[in-house]
Every structure is written in C-alpha cells, then in structure tokens.
Amino acid sequence: MNQPRSAWLYQRVARLIETQIANGTLRHGDRAPSVRSLARSAGVSIATVNQAYLQLERRGLLRARPRSGYFVAAPARPALAPPSSRPLRNRRPRSVAAEVIDTTLASLRQSDVLALNSAVSVFTGRLNGRLNRLTRQVLRDEPDLPNRLSVPPGDEGLRRAVAARLALAGAPTDPASVVITAGAMEAIVLSLTVLCRAGDTVLVESPTYFGVLQAVEQLRLKVVEVANRPDVGIDVAAVERAVAGGDVAAAVLMPNFNNPTGALTSDADKRALMEILEIAGVPVIEDDLYGDLHLGPERPRPLRAFGGGPVVTCGSVSKSIALGYRIGWAVSPEYADDIARAKFCTSVACPTLQQRVLSRFFESGGYDRYLRQLREELAVDRRRYREAVAEHFPSGTRVSDPAGGVVLWVELPEQVDALALFQQALDERIGIAPGLMFSAKGDYRNYVRLTMGAGWSPRVERALGRLGALARAAAAR
Amino acid sequence: MNQPRSAWLYQRVARLIETQIANGTLRHGDRAPSVRSLARSAGVSIATVNQAYLQLERRGLLRARPRSGYFVAAPARPALAPPSSRPLRNRRPRSVAAEVIDTTLASLRQSDVLALNSAVSVFTGRLNGRLNRLTRQVLRDEPDLPNRLSVPPGDEGLRRAVAARLALAGAPTDPASVVITAGAMEAIVLSLTVLCRAGDTVLVESPTYFGVLQAVEQLRLKVVEVANRPDVGIDVAAVERAVAGGDVAAAVLMPNFNNPTGALTSDADKRALMEILEIAGVPVIEDDLYGDLHLGPERPRPLRAFGGGPVVTCGSVSKSIALGYRIGWAVSPEYADDIARAKFCTSVACPTLQQRVLSRFFESGGYDRYLRQLREELAVDRRRYREAVAEHFPSGTRVSDPAGGVVLWVELPEQVDALALFQQALDERIGIAPGLMFSAKGDYRNYVRLTMGAGWSPRVERALGRLGALARAAAAR
C-alpha cells in the first residue's frame, strides 16, 4: 500500500512481461521487448524497466544475453495456464450448427485430423510451384505491390480473364460486370447484402452449403427451402410454388453441382427456372463454384446463359487453383456497382498480389489442360470413395453419384445420429460434416457429407473403413 | 430461319467471339481461344469453330498466325461500345454518400487523379523492399502456401505478434483473443454482425469514418450519434445521455485519432467512457487503426487498458506497413470465437501468404524504429498541409490540429457546398472527401477531409492552392 511509487512501477512492468509469458505471447527463446521501447510504451524510465527485468531474471523468467538483450527462459515449471473463465455477457446461445462449425474450425487447425470435411485439395497443390514462380515474377516487375490498393471492382486483367472464362462457359460477359471478392462466399454475402433487407425471405436449396445458411442468419433473413435432389438437382416445381406468393427477395441457387448433393440441374430445368424467376421478379445469386469440376464431357453453363432476369454469378479459384489465395468473383451487369461499393465498405479490397498472380496465370494459358487432368483424377477418386462407402457402411446406406464437384452426400440408416458420428469420428481424428448443417430446419440428421479433397491414400481408405464401422455400430443399436 | 443447323452453329460461335472483342474481354493482340477448347466448351465440332474463325478472319476481326492460332486483329474502325443501358430492376435509389463513394472508387483507379482522399501512403512504401524479400523467403520455406488455408482465427505467429503489440500499448492480450481479418474495416463489420441484430441501435461518433456508416446501413442498424470534437475527442457526457435509454446494442468508438477529426480522447475520458458503458452493459467496438501514428510522445492506450466491460479492439497494418495486404485484426477475449465463426461464414479466411510475411516482419524487429521515423515525417507534413490550408483557403476556414493519424478536417465558410467542391476538384483531377460522408444525418456540408497519405510534393502544394482557389470562389458567391 505504502510502497514508494518507483517500486510499484517496476512491479507493474514486471507483471506486464510475466502476463505475456503466461499467456504465450512471449514464448521460450523469444526476445523480450528492448528496455528502451518498453520504457517508452509503458511511460516509465529506463531504470524502472531495468529493475523489472532484473527481478524477472532473478525469478528465472528472463535470461540476459550480453549485447543482445533479454530472452524468455525455458519454463522451470509448467507455464501458467491462460485465464479459463471468459465473460459471456451479450452473447446469444450458439446454435448446434454454430457449435459444429466452431469444433470443425478447431479441428482444421490440428494437423493430425484427416480432413474429410474440407476442400483442401491434393490436386490443386501441383499448381503451387507455378503460382510461386509467377509470384516472384510479379514482385520483381511490380515491387510497389505491398502498398498498392486494388480498388473494387478489382484488378482489370483478372476481371478480363474471369469474363473470358464465363464466355467460354456459354455466358458472354463484359469485364465491367466482374467484381473481385474474397472467394465465392464473400461474393454471395455481398450479393445478399445488396439484394435483400433484414426480414426479407430468401429462397435456398435444401440441402445447401452451410455457409449460405449462416450468412442468411447473420443478415437476419428468412428462408424458404426448395429441394435439391441428388439425382435431378433443383426441384423446379417447388421453386414455382415458393415464389408464387411474391415475397421472395432473392434466390441462392447452385445448379452446377450442389454442395452437398453434387447434383447437376439440367439445361431444360435451368431454362425453366430462369423463366419462372424472371416472371416472379426474383433476382438469382448463382453459386457456380464447382462449374469447372464437371465429371461429364461438358462444362455446364451458368444460369445467365439461359436468359431471364438479373443474375449474380459467383465463383472462385479456391476449388481448382489456389484455396489459400481467397480470390473469387461476383459477376452481374445489373449489380456490379452496388456489389463493388458493398465490398469497399466491408473489406475494402482484395490483396493486390494474388490478383496480379492469377491474372498472369490465366493469361499464360494451360488452365484447360490442367483442368482436364484434374477432372480425370477426381472421377477415379469418386469411384474409389463410393466403393469404400458401399463396402464399409451399414446396409441401407445410400450415396450420391455426383456429376461434378468434390463432395459425396451419404444417407445413413434412419437410426444413425450423424451428429454423434461426427463427434466419434473427430475423437478418432477424422473430420466429416454432419447433415444438419446443410438445412435451415436441422433436417438430414442421418446424413453426412464427405469431401474428397484429401485424395486417395491408405490413410483415407482406413478412415473410411473406420467411419463405416462407427456407422454400423450406431445402426445396430 | 431455314438455314441448315451447321450454318447457324458457326454463326453462333462467331458471335460469341465477336461479343468478347466488342466488350473488351478479348483485346487487340490477344490470342483467341484455341479451336479445340472452344469446340469443347461450345459443344460444337472442330470444323464448326474453324468455319467461324475463317469468317471472323475474313471480316478482319481475327488474324491467323501459322502454328500459333488466331489472334485479335487491330480494330479497323472504332471498337463497338459495350452495352450502355443496364436493367435497373430491384435496385434501390442510391444515397448521396453512395454516389460519392462510387465516384471516389472510379477516381482512385485513375492514375492522373491526385488522391487527397486515400490513405495510400508514400511513407509505408519504403517497407516494400523488405516485405518483398520476406515474401520470397516465405515462398522458399513454405512452397505449399497457395493451397494452404489459414483457418480463422488465422496465423498463430501473427496473432502472437498482434497480442505482443497490444501488450506494449498497455493492453495485455492473450493471442487466443486475436482474430485475423481483412483489415480493420472487416473487423468492425464482423463485430457489428456478432453484437447486433437488425433494427438495433448502434452508438457512433459524429463525424465518423464513412465505412462505419455504410456498414451500419448494410446491416440495417439504427444509429445514435455523439460528437467527436477536433479538440477533445469523444463527448463523454453525450455518450452517457445516449446510453441512458438502455437500447444501445454496441458503441463504435475511435478514441485514438478519430477519422476525420484526428482528435485523441484523453485517458481520463477513456476511463469514464469505459465505466459508463460497462454500467449500461454496452459492448465497445474500438477502431484503433491509427494508434501507432501518434504525433505526441506516447502511443495512446486502447480502451481495454482502462478496464470496464467487453471491448473488441480493431486494427490493421494498412496505415503503417502494407495497405495492399488487406490484413487486420479484431481482438476480444469475449467474442473471439463468434468473430472467427462469422469470418469463416463471410469470407472464409485471409490469404495465408500475407499473414506469414507479416508474422516474420514483426518477429524480425525494427518496426518501432521505423514507426519513429514515420511519425517524425508525418509531423512535418501535418505542419506543411496546415500552413497551405491557412495560406490558400478562404478566410473563416478552420482546420484540425490532429494528435495523430493521417487526415485533416477542414471547416469551410458556411456558404461553401463541399459536395460541389468535391465535384469541381475531381474535374481538376484532385480527390477529396466531402464532409457529409462522415455523418449519418448528412451534416458537415461545409467540411472536407484531406488525407496526407500523398506526402508533400510540388504537385500536392499546387493542388492545395487550387483547392483553396475553388473554395474562395465558392465562399465569394
């Protein structure tokens, strides 16, 4: 209480460093802040910091090295645990889907978990060398990139390349309609932001990608679900009924290889969908993320190729070129300006470097040749995964025969709780996605989605066998 | 009508290429798609594509090069203009702020416009060489980066570095509380998403950064404004009155160098604010973007250093290291998990490469030395800009004396319409930000914000003289 002020000060400084060591900010071997900089930032004298560091050295927390400063010593006893109780005020209860996502995010950071729930792809990895070479070229040619902002709608070369790819896919596109985004997911979120107001109703597929459902929830939108069936894709009649009421603000559709069903909606149904939605005045947000990964002979056309009303075509390089780049696009002659402004006001811009690298990648050619090879390998893996499911999973299991993309949709016998299976699998270091994440209503409780991005290996084979055993045990209960 | 099917097909293919040339997707000198790839993607025979290309060659649109394929010929006449009429269905009228943002985005892409409205900084540019060297090192050491996903909350090394910086700034932080985001703007948007529901009321400063106001509008939130005064910062009494009603869901505050006023809120007022907000149960989203750019002797402390209730501290490397990297953070022991999940469900992740590079940048030291130099130069420029405004602008003009950051807030005589000045300045290739963008109510119609990121040069000096002349003419009207 009556300590002199200087004593109090050096103890405060010592506590600051001690806390950083305890919570892992400073770790064994790290250099502690220099005496001078710490004195300045803590607003104390250099003598005070020296006193604090001497105390920490005496207590074995720091070690001085001549002419190098202070370093964090090896812990003599277990490091202090970080604070375990966190205040939870103002936090709403998490939904089951949110819990699953949190658990999944944590598991994706653990290298010993086999990710059968992530699009991290062994196939795209073979482009890394070429992409890294292009990166070095770009850095040499444009050394000011770290501080150049790529203002929305983004890099012109990349936008031209995206327009050219869409034209090849059957939907001629003006580069001015292309907005570069942080992957297809941001493209969808920005489109929803532009097209909907809170309380509006959005038409989504059931099942659909859980990110879409989370985004819809974050934006406080209501949903009406229409079926996407593994065999035929989007249920056109259901869409017609859903929009008849007139209060649907937008439709999020994935006709080219729905995630998770893998279904391709036919050209005839796409044309019918566009007619129905145009008449109803409902703009479409199309998730065309997997369009390039068709297993059939032809790249399916995006919805825009079939006429009708406004469409935002969303895509990315994440599934076929570079998952870690976080580059995608929203393409729409109608809403490009609004989407670009929404991008600027939520994440400002995409990194300049990756846009320049991808622009050169497309310009330099060879992507189609690479895609052909990739698709052939995906076709082989699809067969292997399906055979493994047929062999190991309980009788009564059904599995999709996807026309493209990288996921399998597995329906287990009704008594199997896929959420419990998810937990059991994770205990055995296998990541899968339980079905209820893919429905706003929590349907598909006996479904799981398997992602084939891990490729095929003895480890994957063993994991599928183990999953099957867990599912058989659950089915027998 | 009765053309044979093959004739119709080759004309369709020819039109596809013609459209791409007309809208700029394919430009003079570009290679046209290979005959084989176009045949496959258009679903026609190779003979049909050959026929189409022959027709385009005859019409002078393509030129064949032996063994190289077809290239786009130089235009013999002005290129066809892209379609000028765009359907506008389902689009709401844009606000004045939105119009200004669209105009500003367009101007930022024109290299002949002097950007006195952008934080693109001549100062940070000197780190480019070092950042590019680190990038090459990272690519060499971790060649699989293009396809490695940095799952939220993001790169561990970078999160530790952010926690260490915050600790040095007086707010000891556990790295587990740090979520890496696409700049501070995304950190703020994600925090609002986590803390508020549509229709909730958010407390914001007046004036405040226009991106915050746009985000609040996108999320359909209501605002209550409290003054941020250029001399003393946040009006604490106004905050106390605003939260008294009990219906404020969150407060977005910028006590360390408000954008645009540049004001620093005092430690005593920060402490009072945190007490008031804790008692009212209002969580704080703090925009600490400019904290490192203090012109006074000490780095001002973030709000978390003053106790009180939950805070999300938002920051980024955009203003002091690398504007083009799009890397920032949201730091909160209370809400880190929710923010990480929201990040995953809107933009999935930040690019892995930039996070690794910045992690090494902080680890390798020297940032504080660089910051000291940067701040000294900013202090000189602040004086020069203020003197130029004093010299050239009409009498009655007032200008802020910012304690940090990179902006000046200029109040013009009442009769000057800053929106008109914005347009006139842009006609003369000078970009400024009109005051009304910084208020939800459209206040500050006779204010402009000048950003000092362009540094000081004869061109800047001339531009400030020209701006002053335009303002004098408007004041004399």
DSSP conformation letters of B310-341: -EEEEEESTTTT-GGG--EEEE-TTTHHHHHH
Q: What is the pLDDT of residue B336?
A: 97
Residue A69 has pLDDT above 70, yes or no: yes
Per DSSP, what are the bridge partners of residue B434?
Answer: B448
Residue B112 has pLDDT above 60, yes or no: yes
Q: What pLDDT digit, counting tens, does each position of B245-264 carry?
A: 889 999 999 999 999 999 99
Q: What pLDDT digit, counting tens, does each position of A410-420 carry?
A: 999 999 999 99
Distance of CA B296 to the CA centre of its chain: 26
Q: What pLDDT digit, counting tens, does each position of B326-338 carry?
A: 999 999 999 999 9
Q: What are the φ and ψ backbone dihedral angles of B211, each rounded to 5 degrees?
A: -60, -35
From the list A85, A75, A83, the residue with the least C-alpha distance to A21 is A75
From the CB of residue B91, how many other CB atoms can be counted at a distance below 10 Å?
Answer: 16
Which chain A residues contact residue B131 at CB under 8 A?
Answer: 146
H-helix segments, B196-333? 210-218, 236-244, 267-280
- What's the CA gap between A84 and B340, in Å, rounded? 18
Task: Give the type of residue at B117.
Answer: N
CB-CB under 8 Å, A89 with B16? no
Q: Cα angle vertex B50, ends B46, B52, to 5°? A: 115
Residue of B15 and B462 predicted with greater confidence: B462
Half-sphere exposure of B364 toward its Cβ, with a 13 Å CA cutoff?
12
Q: What is the ipTM of this complex?
A: 0.83
Closest chain B residue by Cα to residue A93:
B338
Residue B110 has pLDDT above 70, yes or no: yes
- What's the CA gap between A268 and A280, in Å, rounded? 18
Give the list of residues 6+ apart from residue A406 with CB closer than 8 angstroms, or none.
A119, A121, A290, A293, A319, A378, A451, A452, A453
CB-CB under 8 Å, B128 with A147? yes
Give which of A137, A347, A406 to mutate to test B binding, by max B Cβ within 10 Å. Answer: A347
Percent of chain B with pLDDT strictly greater than 70: 94
CB-CB under 8 Å, B121 with A132? no
How high is the mean pLDDT of chain B? 90
Q: What is the pLDDT of residue B75?
A: 64
- Alpha-carbon distances, residue A216 vs A160, A201, A209, A348, B321 (angstroms): 30, 9, 11, 21, 35
When CB atoms are compared, the residue of B105, B149, B340 closest to A152 is B105
CB-CB under 8 Å, A323 with B148? yes
H-helix segments, B59-155? 96-108, 128-141
Q: What is the pLDDT of residue A184?
A: 97
Task: Give the type of residue at B138.
Answer: V
CB-CB under 8 Å, A25 with B175? yes
Q: What is the pLDDT of residue B444?
A: 96
From the list B358, B361, B145, B360, the residue with the least C-alpha distance to A132 is B145
HEC readout, A74-103: CCCCCCCCCCCCCCCCCCCCCCHHHHHHHH
- What's the CA gap between B325 and A353, in Å, rounded? 8
Residue of B429 and B51 predicted with greater confidence: B429
pLDDT band at residue B120 under the 50/70/90 scheme: low
When CB atoms are compared, the residue of A27, A310, A324 closest to B351 is A324
Which chain A residues contact residue B353 at CB under 8 A?
Answer: 135, 324, 353-354
- Mean per-residue pLDDT, A238-249: 94
Give which of A149, A248, A311, A362 to mutate to test B binding, by max B Cβ within 10 Å. Answer: A149
CB contact at 8 A, B342 and B88:
no
CB-CB under 8 Å, B174 with A83? yes
Q: What is the pLDDT of residue B247?
A: 92
Q: What is the pLDDT of residue B191?
A: 98
CB contact at 8 A, B42 and A301:
no
- Alpha-carbon distances, residue A386 vs A69, A256, A373, A378, B454 (angstroms): 60, 20, 20, 12, 59
- R_g over Cα of chain A: 27
Closest chain A residue by Cα to residue B248:
A90
When CB atoms are compared, the residue of A91, A144, A167 closest to B125 is A144
- Mean per-residue pLDDT, B213-237: 94
CB contact at 8 A, A356 and A139:
no
CB-CB under 8 Å, B340 with A105? yes
Which of these ranges, A54-68, A71-85, B167-181, B269-283, has the smallest mean pLDDT?
A71-85
Q: Which stretch, A54-63, A416-425, B116-125, has highest mean pLDDT?
A: A416-425
CB-CB under 8 Å, B124 with A144? no
- What's the CA gap between B310 and A87, in Å, rounded? 8
* pTM: predicted TM-score of the whole model, two decimal places: 0.84
Which chain B residues contact residue A23 at CB under 8 A?
Answer: 163, 172-176
Q: What pLDDT digit, counting tens, does each position of B166-185 carry?
A: 999 999 999 999 999 999 99
Q: What are the φ and ψ backbone dihedral angles of A180, each rounded to 5 degrees?
A: -80, 135
Residue A2 has pLDDT above 70, yes or no: no
Please tell me whether residue B439 adopts helix, strand or coil conformation. coil
Q: What distance in Å separates residue A138's CA from the closest CA in chain B?
A: 10
Q: Cα angle vertex A216, ends A267, B221, to 5°? A: 140
- Mean per-residue pLDDT, B79-96: 48
From the CB of residue A232, how many other CB atoms can be counted at a distance below 10 Å?
Answer: 15
Q: What distance in Å separates residue A392's CA from the closest CA in chain B?
A: 30
Task: Give the number of A-B residue pairs with CB atoms closer than 8 Å.
Answer: 340
- What's the CA gap between A335 and A332, in Å, rounded? 5
Give the list of residues 6+ apart from residue A358 with CB closer than 8 angstroms, or none.
A158, A161, A317, A321, A322, A325, A327
Tell the burial category of B125 from Cβ atoms under 10 Å away from its Cβ (0-12, 13-18, 19+): middle
Residue B4 has pLDDT above 50, yes or no: no
CB contact at 8 A, A12 and B151:
no
Tell the burial category of B364 from Cβ atoms under 10 Å away from its Cβ (0-12, 13-18, 19+): exposed
Which chain A residues contact residue B309 at CB under 8 A?
Answer: 87, 89
Residue A68 has pLDDT above 60, yes or no: yes
Which chain B residues contact residue A129 at CB under 8 A?
Answer: 143
- Mean per-residue pLDDT, B280-298: 95
- Mean per-residue pLDDT, A151-156: 96
Give which of B278, B345, B364 to mutate to test A binding, by max A Cβ within 10 Å. Answer: B345
Residue of A11 and A290 predicted with greater confidence: A290
CB-CB under 8 Å, B167 with A20? yes
CB-CB under 8 Å, A219 with B219? yes
Closest chain B residue by Cα to residue A154:
B109
Give which of A84, A346, A369, A374 to mutate to test B binding, by max B Cβ within 10 Å. Answer: A346
Closest chain B residue by Cα to residue A326:
B351
Q: What distance in Å separates residue B230's CA from the closest CA in chain A?
A: 24
CB contact at 8 A, A300 and A255:
yes
Q: What distance in Å separates residue B396's CA from the closest CA in chain A?
A: 33
Residue of B12 and A224 predicted with greater confidence: A224
pLDDT band at residue B24 under the 50/70/90 scheme: confident
N residues, chain B: 477
Give the list of residues 6+ apart from residue A158 with CB closer than 8 angstroms, or none.
A180, A327, A355, A356, A358, A359, A362
Q: What pLDDT digit, counting tens, does each position of A86-116 carry?
A: 333 444 567 888 899 999 999 988 889 999 9
Residue B6 has pLDDT above 70, yes or no: no
Please tell me whether residue B16 adopts helix, strand or coil conformation. helix
Q: What pLDDT digit, counting tens, does each position of B186-195 carry?
A: 999 999 999 9
Give which of A221, A278, A326 to mutate to test B binding, by max B Cβ within 10 Å. Answer: A326
Give which of B90, B278, B282 to mutate to test A binding, by max A Cβ within 10 Å. Answer: B90
CB-CB under 8 Å, A163 with B20? yes
CB-CB under 8 Å, B349 with A353? no
Residue B85 has pLDDT above 50, yes or no: no
Give the list of residues 6+ apart from residue B182 with CB closer than 8 angstroms, or none.
A182, A347, A348, B326, B327, B328, B347, B350
Q: What is the pLDDT of residue B1?
A: 37
CB contact at 8 A, B302 and B313:
yes
Q: Which residue in this structure is represented by tokens 């490091």?
A: A79
When CB atoms are compared, the residue of B87, B146, B322 closest to A325 is B146
Residue A377 has pLDDT above 60, yes or no: yes
Which of these ranges, A48-62, A347-361, B48-62, B66-80, has the smallest mean pLDDT?
B66-80
Q: Which residue in this structure is represented by tokens 């004309």?
A: B11
- Mean per-residue pLDDT, A70-75: 81
Distance of CA A175 to the CA centre of its chain: 25
Task: Give the type of residue at B59.
Answer: R
pLDDT band at residue B391 under the 50/70/90 scheme: very high
Question: Kind of pairing, strands A328-331 and A311-316?
Answer: antiparallel
Closest chain A residue by Cα to residue B100:
A341
- What's the CA gap between B343 and B98, in Å, rounded? 25
Q: Which helix (H) or strand (E) holds A69?
A: strand A69-72
Tell the burial category of B57 from Cβ atoms under 10 Å away from its Cβ (0-12, 13-18, 19+): middle
Which chain B residues contact residue A88 at CB under 8 A?
Answer: 334
Please tell me whether residue B244 adopts helix, strand or coil conformation. helix
Q: What is the pLDDT of residue B77?
A: 44
- Mean per-residue pLDDT, A241-270: 96
CB contact at 8 A, B354 and A139:
no
